Amino acid sequence: MEAVLEKPATGTAYSAIVQKQRDYFWTHATKPAAFRKKQLNKLKAAFAKHESSLLAALKADLNKPAQEAFTTEIGITVAEIEHYLRHLDDWMEPERVSTPLFFQPGTSMIMPEPYGVTLIIAPWNYPVKNLFGPLLGAIAAGNTAVVKPSEISPNCSKAIADLIKDTFDPEYIVSIEGGVPETTELLKERFDYLLFTGGTEIGRIVYQAAAKHLTPVTLELGGKSPCIVDTNINMDVAAKRLVWGKFQNAGQTCIAPDYIYVNNKIKDKFLGRVKHYIGEFFGDADKPSDDLGRIISDRHFQRVSKMLTGDILVGGVTDASQRYIAPTIIDNVTNDHPAMQEEIFGPVMPVLGYDSFDEVINHINAGERPLAMYLFSNDSKLKKRLMNETSSGAICVNETMVHAGQPNLPFGGVGNSGIGAYNGKLGFDTFSHQKPVMVRSFLGDVAQKYPPYTSGKLSFIKMASKFLLR
Ligand code: NAD
């Protein structure tokens, strides 16, 4: 059977793929640590072999500069493979937990067990990282996987499918290319775990399809991630980090700072520094920079271009022929501005001013829970307030986006920004069922637990539950 289906497959063909993987899973071949490590090493070698075609595809689909592509797609994934290889033995080890007296003699442990056949559906914005990041978890946890790259980034979809086909047998890992019709068919199959990355609305569709089979899910979704800028900061470092995070991949990042909330006392000065670094990093707005990504499709180009209205401080320039939108700051924005109606997912930075931190907290809590929240401040009280009084997938203080590259932190959303998380150990845990295992001895058989029940037996059980179950 072909690892990559170039033509839309029928439901039956998908059923055959899934069945083949299920049969393979039940041979138990994917479970030993040595097998898992071998696959991770194969993937690492495949990244070296296919690096130039992945870079070319990222350039063709998104004009991703080589440094960005390495930092946020290829290098970060290879570093994560190393992290998995270093820790896998530890993570696979069952966790011994204490066994209360009532169950003695006996032992108890939590044993991570692979789910089986997994499905990973990836988006177009970080087509490599958002497909292989979850796949590392699936491999490390001992599963098989069907992966579905996004059709919206067709060059990346093909490069990923080629890499998978070149590296793995389809009964173990297979890539299925295609768009909505193919994904809809695929979602009719029964998977043992599903990880979806994409928009919240499609997330709902995927969740409903999974529910039909009671398939457990991780949903990595999006939302509007605010960036709050307090007075007490190093303005140059904050402005540089903000411009770097906001305009990576032309703003098409799920955790991009979406809109900026700046203390009115420093707003004009701070925006001056932001403007300065936009110029320093990307040059003149009329000359599309090679270091800036392009908008993925005409549809998204039109969608983001409609947001370019109001008090445009910098940018506002577009070139439809190359789907270029210049890095743009829009000042004095209110909640009814087009850029405040949905996740921007483009190089547009709306700015709101605030006088009191209460305003900021109330504004954030009135909306859906963001995937990320950023704060530039040296005030520990404000940091604590943001952590305790709001809810978001993550908080990153005095930086933007880098928390996603910290392998010891989970990555995921909450509420409308997602369900569950992955990254490093959490990737392994996400794709593992945590199976409780209790082993008793034939000794210590408590006679009082058996019928016929008596008041004496009940008194014993009441006493035991008080003192012997701790
Ligand atoms: P999308 O939801 O349009 O597409 C994601 C995947 O779903 C693609 O593979 C696509 O083929 C498939 N799909 C699309 N329509 C479908 C349908 N009707 N039925 C079944 N499958 C369908 O997302 P996108 O435009 O590729 O990515 C942008 C969104 O993803 C943004 O909202 C962004 O915030 C979010 N995102 C989240 C994360 C995260 O880790 N939380 C990472 C990247 C992107």
Q: Which residues pair with 211 in a beta bridge?
A: none
Asked if residues 449 and 461 have their Cβ atoms less than 8 Å apart, the reply is yes
Residue 223 CA, closest ligand 1 atom number: 34
Cis amide leading into 338 (omega within 30): no
**254 given a catalytic annotation:** yes
Query: Could you tell me how many helices (H) and strands (E) the chain has, helices first?
Result: 15, 20
Tens-digit pLDDT profile for residues 45-75: 999 999 999 999 999 999 999 999 999 999 9
Asked if residues 347 and 292 have their Cβ atoms less than 8 Å apart, the reply is yes
Distance spanning both ends of the chain, measured CA to CA = 55
Can you tell me the mean pLDDT for 178-202? Answer: 97
Tell me which residues have their CB closer than 6 angstroms to ligand 1. 121-126, 130, 148, 150-152, 179-180, 183-184, 197-199, 202, 205-206, 220-222, 254, 343, 345, 371, 413, 418
Specify the pLDDT at position 12: 77
Tell me which H or E stretch contains 18.
helix 11-25
What is the CATH code for 226-412? Answer: 3.40.309.10
Q: Which CATH number fits domain 11-221+421-432: 3.40.710.10, 3.30.350.10, 3.40.605.10, 3.10.20.600?
A: 3.40.605.10
Asked if residues 125 and 252 have their Cβ atoms less than 8 Å apart, the reply is yes
Dihedral, CA of residue 166, residue 167, residue 170 and residue 171, to nearest 10: 160
Tell me the best of 73, 128, 177, 183 to mutate to test the pocket of ligand 1, counting ligand atoms within 8 Å of each CB and taking the most. 183
Separation in Å, CA 65 to CA 53, 291, 470: 14, 6, 58
Asked if residues 39 and 167 have their Cβ atoms less than 8 Å apart, the reply is no
Tell me the best of 14, 200, 204, 254 to mutate to test the pocket of ligand 1, counting ligand atoms within 8 Å of each CB and taking the most. 254
Asked if residues 105 and 441 have their Cβ atoms less than 8 Å apart, the reply is yes
Q: Can you tell me which residue has the tokens 């794709």?
A: 431
**220 given a catalytic annotation:** yes
Tens-digit pLDDT profile for residues 269-316: 999 999 999 999 999 999 999 999 999 999 999 999 999 999 999 999
Dihedral, CA of residue 456, residue 460, residue 465 and residue 469, to nearest 10: -150
What confidence tier does 7 reach under pLDDT thresholds 50, 70, 90?
Answer: very low
Q: What percent of the chain has pLDDT over 70?
A: 98
What are residue 451's phi and psi, to 5 degrees? Answer: -65, 165
Cα-to-centroid distance, 87 and ligand 1 (Å) = 30
What are residue 291's phi and psi, to 5 degrees? Answer: -90, 10
5 has pLDDT over 50? no
Which residue of the set 80, 177, 182, 220 is catalytic?
Answer: 220
Cα-to-centroid distance, 250 and ligand 1 (Å) = 17
Which residue of the set 185, 254, 343, 368 is catalytic?
Answer: 254
Tens-digit pLDDT profile for residues 93-152: 999 999 999 899 999 999 999 999 999 999 999 999 999 999 999 999 999 999 999 999
Measured distance CA(387)–CA(382) in Å, rounded? 9
Cα-to-centroid distance, 345 and ligand 1 (Å) = 12
Domain(s) labelled CATH 3.40.605.10 in the chain stretch across 11-221+421-432
Tens-digit pLDDT profile for residues 192-205: 999 999 999 999 99
Separation in Å, CA 183 to CA 36, 90, 369, 422: 27, 36, 27, 22
Cα-to-centroid distance, 291 and ligand 1 (Å) = 25
Domain(s) labelled CATH 3.40.309.10 in the chain stretch across 226-412
What are residue 16's phi and psi, to 5 degrees? Answer: -65, -40
